[in-house]
Structure 1
Amino acid sequence: MPVTNQTNYEFYPFPLSEFCIRYLCGGDSMRQLRHVSRTELLLARLGLDYPEGALLDMRINRFSHAVELFSNLALSKSTLLEAHSTLTGTDTRGFRKNESWIGPDKASSKYPEVASVKEIDQALSYLVDDHNSSSHLQPLQHVYSFMELLSIHPFQDANGRVARAFHIAQERKMGIQVPATLYRYKHGENELYIGEAHNFKASPKTYLTNTEFWQRAYDWSDFATEKILELIKNAKNILDTQTLLTPLNSVDISIIKHLWQQPITTQAYISQTLDLPIYDVGKSINTLVSYNILQPSRIKKRTLQPVYHNVALVNLYKNVEKLLFK
């Protein structure tokens, strides 16, 4: 295959929200079922006894249904409740009696005040630098409190599934990219800063109005989105440096592009996903390993295939996760 000029190629474009959702989506729902293979999912859909495959299929269908609800209906409390009911299988009638569960519409509604963007900037710098010492508890508790606040209005689904369904629907309908930084997961009880965060929450609070709350929320979203784009740019620079003087063919480049969506992969998965002959994929993998673009990390238990990863892109995903959810 012809050698391509390595200084000019570009990676496939992808929406930022899709990038984040692909790796982080699901919280306590779909994320826990990431180990279910496509084969198991297919067999479950054909009626065979694969309980986890059937559960994942149900959740995927519910998520798709919720997206359709948001695509076809005007945004309203009833729509939010119906989508939540679809995703969780719960009865929404009880929630209608307590509309503050979704969030009041009145401008006089109040929400606890949270850290400023400047304080969050300081906290994020600690997170990105991966500092974990006790001296960093103070900024971390601000991030915890702020992300907790984002989770209660207007989508009080702990895993953010309703919010994701709405945002994906908006993206399809209007062609806009809603930042994935409005999503959060439930925090476990063992994080270093949880105790400090609880103490912080117990202290006296000032309050924001409904309008101020949303402004602060979107300020956070824009700010964190810039941080994610910066991380992506840094990862791309590292990968560009690795490939700059490397003679790569079209299969090699296809694999590198694929790594942006799947930084940990196998020869068989690449062959299937990119519809390439497995021999060509194997040859390219050997080339990429020899130039340290790919690294073998372990052997897959069920198939005994080597698993490969690109360090820069794996670190990118880890840093995005730290930035948003830890």
Structure 2
Amino acid sequence: MLRIRDLRTHIGVDGGVVRAVDGVDLAVGRGETLCLVGESGSGKSVAARSVMRLLVPSARIVTGEILFSREPEDDPVDLARLDPRGPAMRAVRGAGIGMVFQEPMSSLSPVHTVGDQVAEMALTHSAISKREAREQAAQMLDHVGITQPRKRLDDYPFQLSGGMRQRVMIAMALMCNPALLIADEPTTALDVTTQAQILDLLRRIQDEHGMAILFITHDMGVVAEMAERVAVMYLGRVVETGGVTEIFDAPRHPYTRAMLASIPSIGGARGGELPAITGSVPPPLHRPRGCSFHPRCAVAVAGRCDEHAPPRIDLGDGHWMECVHGEESR
């Protein structure tokens, strides 16, 4: 359904150019859930916004393809070649691909009612009346678990709880029955109980609608709960991709292993230090030479990892990674 090839999205800033997405390859199959995981600063959200062509004015897609086909018989459309403000791209947003953003309070308009914002999606993509769009909005609010949906149509976002605002965002994304839903850290700002409810909601809706989900997160617990396949991203590149069982039971890339090792366990030693990945993601304008992860890597090879880009190693069954240790991991 979605295939991204060698995508490079650069952002102009004071002092230089940030290579936020620096050669990403991704594929999302029909009806599956792919989790894109990595620390803050890895480029996950910029990759998602590149697909939707919702980039800041200083950002541009330099090279690469974003091939999307809503139906199996459709010819793929390269979204990277479309005018972000043109009718073809506007038709893809909402009707082909829906998106749920991380913080609904900053994504929803504070001066428009919930009903107007949800109904606008139907009015944009369908030849229906305002009354019909409002009725569809009420039905969708009910579908995503908002009580008294017709009453909530006249509420403003500030009158809703964080969990309800996120449900409104999901309702907006689903109004036109998209084939693919991009969920950009949709549970990060929520408490644990509400987070579980939203994840359950997304799974239920996926089962009912048969849509695919590209789920972006930094939480490996969410990955274990949601994913069928996992793509691990670091500093603008996908460094490992595989099935969720492969990634959790037999991770290959040192970054993937470090992320999994940093998850606190209930049975861990009490009173000790929590495990953590050494160092931090480097500033975007000061990318290391060679393998971007080598300054933090416990198994980096001097003179190789710090000088040369790592090779891509196919580990079989759709599992691959970019690392000099890949041949040893076959």
Q: Normalising to structure 1: TM-score of the pair?
A: 0.30
More helix by share: 1
